[in-house]
Amino acid sequence: MSSDPTVSIVLPTYNGARYLAQAIESCLAQTYTDWELIVVDDASTDETPDLLAAFARRDPRIRAIRHAENRKLPGALNTGFAAARGMYLTWTSDDNLYRPEALAVLVEALEGAPEIGVIYADYSEIDEAGRVVDTITVRDPQTLVYKSCVGPCFLYRRAVQETVGPYAEDLYLAEDYDFWLRVSAHFKLRPLHQNLYLYRMHGGALTSRYFDRVMAARETTLLRNLPRLGWADGVARAEAYMHLAELAERRHDRRQSLVYRAQALRQHPLLVLRRGVLRALKIVLGPAAARKIAGVYLRFKKPARTEI
């Protein structure tokens, strides 16, 4: 193995000892072995430091970096990637698991597509006991205008990190969404429909604990990045403003929701009208009938692009 690994995995953790060993073991179990794991301990107060010391003694590919003060997820990510030496980069969470073939498949996909900056894969959701409860097929990248479609399993080139810079520490809870939006302005993203990852659903997860704050952070993130998305046409921008209107309604800001809807109308009047009709049908006929009508429309809709 070369002095510099091909893949760098960053694993930020804060008081994550409950599942951390499983997350690290899933890295050790990879069929692809040319990697380094940089675990950033964000000032944990549980058993995390001792656990990391034991793993670092066990395998030289594992390094632990400790923050003296808690800097939240984007700060921990930036610390980890500043220390990363790999040609390809990724990060994982202390409660999630790679399937054994994950890195091998992701590396092969990137090496076979030099025009692609980011590869991201399908995954399964598991419960606290590790039982699979759902299987997720990742969406195409143009859905970034209303959803962080990349998911938790991905690999990207070092050039991506060098071009877009660090994770935004002022966008805690939406730092990943902001990162992918910035990446999409410069690089192509491609979904890989192989299930390579296990994403744990539990009450302690950030999205579960801070759902309203996550939605507010996503609104700020999309507003900040939308003007920079040269690939987003009128339809995509209308979709974005419609999503922003829904976020405003979620926080009971009717006035701002109307402002966003007016902006969507300027971008693509037909899309807004169609959404309004489907919404009315949902109220009049019920959700099931509205879904059937939407399904008929989607069968005749132009196929979506799988890259941007």
How far is Cα 97 from Cα 124, in angstroms, rounded to an integer?
A: 10
One-character DSSP codes across 250-286? HTT-HHHHHHHHHHHHHH-HHHHHHHHHHHHHHHHH-
pLDDT digits (tens, 9 = 90+) for 37-90: 999 999 999 999 999 999 999 999 999 999 999 999 999 999 999 999 999 999
* Distance in angstroms between the alpha carbons of the first and the last residue of the chain: 35
7-210 maps to which CATH number? 3.90.550.10
Is residue 19 a contact partner of residue 47, using CB atoms and an 8 Å limit? Answer: no
Nearest CA to 126 among 208, 199, 196, 195? Answer: 199
Nearest CA to 32 among 102, 104, 105? Answer: 104
What per-residue confidence (pLDDT) applies to 281?
A: 44
Comma-separated ranges of CATH 3.90.550.10 domains in the chain: 7-210
Considering 176-185, 275-284, 289-298, the range whose residues carry the highest mean pLDDT is 176-185
pLDDT digits (tens, 9 = 90+) for 231-269: 999 999 999 999 999 999 999 999 999 999 999 999 998
Q: Is the dihedral of CA 13, 14, 17, 19 positive or negative?
A: negative
